[in-house]
Structure 1
């Protein structure tokens, strides 16, 4: 690992992407992720890469499609309404089995909303990143170091399973500065995948990257094979962190920046004599349902904390399957929950969990 350096979350992700072998970045400015594009614009030309500010978010995601189809490591970044514009292209990438990295530094919404942090894109990322029967990998960092580490993992898994990957961050993490270390590993050589449309030179048959399958039976068979691959991802790459959950009666579930706040509240609850713990999903798709379900065997109740009106709470309730109470607490529009508020919710839950 390199020596620690103090970096802003957005810029740390961009640097990690370059070190991970990304050589093609296509984007469009929108707060609070613009520093990613700005960093790439400065760094890419001198480090063997290509930076291009597209004329729109729609153009940017389709440029990623083209670079990915040629077998290159490519990425784009945006924030909530920009990701909505990219959703058609994300569906095409998934349907064409193309790997890439998409970063969403969420802001308050719906519509243009505001520029403050939010987690209200959870449903979009995990349920409908694009139209049709598809999934994409969704990672949820809670520190700047984790933002760095997940960039490497996202690219590697995207390549391994031929699937788009998303890092679902938020404005708080994107603008935060923390010490980070970068792995000492060298950037991988550009891959020439056997499926890539990168010129055959008479040495192999033509490759065609395509998402149009006109025969219903053929399309169904292809989608079913893709879902077999999704199941393999669920089995091998679902990730979460459990904090003080071994004897927890009250389990807080939170991801991203909100998990940092929830961790403080859990510590305060322990000081007050309440056996609280935290389950933090690190992958939102696949969601760590098995870990939540396992804790439902011993916990008295769950508290889901989000910067939204309640989205991940649906997955928590599905995993708990009615075995124990699940309470929701959240703010939206860019309002950030405080540790004191979360502690109050834990205390309220403890008072009524047996009812």
Structure 2
């Protein structure tokens, strides 16, 4: 689609020779001021990690899509959520963060990708769309809403666009002298990350206000879990759902509020348990956090999640 649609829309589509080449092309394109993105799936994203670290260190805005598949290693080509740590904790070297958005529908893929470019430009930071193989191959109706910026976009007065009549600009990630230069650069990056934490966290909350048991999941798993939550409500159980839309920065506030009245949390993932660590931190260990999930390309069903909900709900009563 992009190979024929991008030229029609005034853009450029490049089929790179490798994942490593693609991420370094992104570095160059962003450095010249272009809005740019790349995409891959799990092992391909691992190959891009060195370049992602360079891009984050150079503060170059761009968008990276990861439609996760089963791992580790070559794994399989079934959907998975095993790359959560890699995406949210910094998969490459050094102290950096990506902004990470986790859509759960094709409509959100459309909307959050537009948002991602705005967030990247606003904060001069790479943004990852963290999907999975189910979402990446799903066909469902999408309303192609027109692009409207979701925030004020700063001038790109740092790009490399020729330097006639002025001092040349420099984009770099190497800081050797003075000795304090790299430490100062890291402090500045983390001041920016603190601002992002205060600004961007987003989550969807369903029936959480009176919930005794709160389920949490993201992406495709959240769609499956929502069916189980609705069934629990239909049966009179006070069960709610918190779906993080940004998984970095993680939306801590809804969990902290829910911990005031909920007696337990249940985290569902298509992995052996990764987001569960952020949920435990978000609710400050005030309530027990149970887990339901599995890695290796395993898919949960609403019925199985409901069975787990029913067992835990008895403990909450």
Q: TM-score range by the shorter chain?
A: over 0.9
Instruction: Tell me the CA shift for residue 46 of structure 1.
Output: 3.2
Q: Distance in 1 between matches of 2:126 and 2:146?
A: 25
Partner of 1:342: 305
- Equivalent of residue 232 in structure 2, options 265, 269, 278: 269
Instruction: Tell me the CA shift for residue 128 of structure 1.
Output: 2.1
Partner of 1:96: 58
Q: Distance in 2 between matches of 1:346 and 1:165?
A: 34
Q: Write the mapping of 1:1-355 to structure 2, written as runs, cut at 5 A.
A: 39-185=1-147, 193-202=156-165, 204-215=166-177, 216-353=179-316
Instruction: Tell me the CA shift for residue 99 of structure 1.
Output: 0.2
Q: Distance in 2 between matches of 1:197 and 1:129?
A: 27
Instruction: Tell me the CA shift for residue 179 of structure 1.
Output: 1.2
- On the 8 A contact 2:225/2:302 being kept in 1, the answer is yes
Q: Distance in 2 between matches of 1:172 and 1:110?
A: 18
Give the count of matched residue pairs. 313
SS at match of 1:180: coil
Q: Distance in 2 between matches of 1:86 and 1:173?
A: 21
**Which stretch shows the higher mean deviation, 341-350 or 74-83?**
341-350
Q: CA 1:352–1:76 in 2, change beyond 3 Å: closer, same or farther?
A: same
Instruction: Tell me the CA shift for residue 265 of structure 1.
Output: 0.2
**Which stretch shows the higher mean deviation, 211-220 or 242-251?**
211-220
Instruction: Tell me the CA shift for residue 145 of structure 1.
Output: 0.6
Instruction: Tell me the CA shift for residue 183 of structure 1.
Output: 2.5
Aligned-residue CA RMSD (Å): 1.6
Instruction: Tell me the CA shift for residue 51 of structure 1.
Output: 1.4
1:256-276 deviation digits (Å, cap 9, x = unpaired) = 000001100001111222100
Q: Distance in 2 between matches of 1:193 and 1:271?
A: 52
- On the 8 A contact 2:99/2:127 being kept in 1, the answer is yes
Q: CA 1:254–1:186 in 2, change beyond 3 Å: closer, same or farther?
A: closer
SS at match of 2:66: strand
- On the 8 A contact 2:212/2:263 being kept in 1, the answer is yes
Q: Distance in 2 between matches of 1:82 and 1:71?
A: 25
- On the 8 A contact 2:212/2:316 being kept in 1, the answer is no
Gaps spanning 5+ residues in structure 2: where?
A: none
Instruction: Tell me the CA shift for residue 45 of structure 1.
Output: 2.8
- On the 8 A contact 2:121/2:154 being kept in 1, the answer is no
Partner of 1:13: none
Instruction: Tell me the CA shift for residue 95 of structure 1.
Output: 0.2
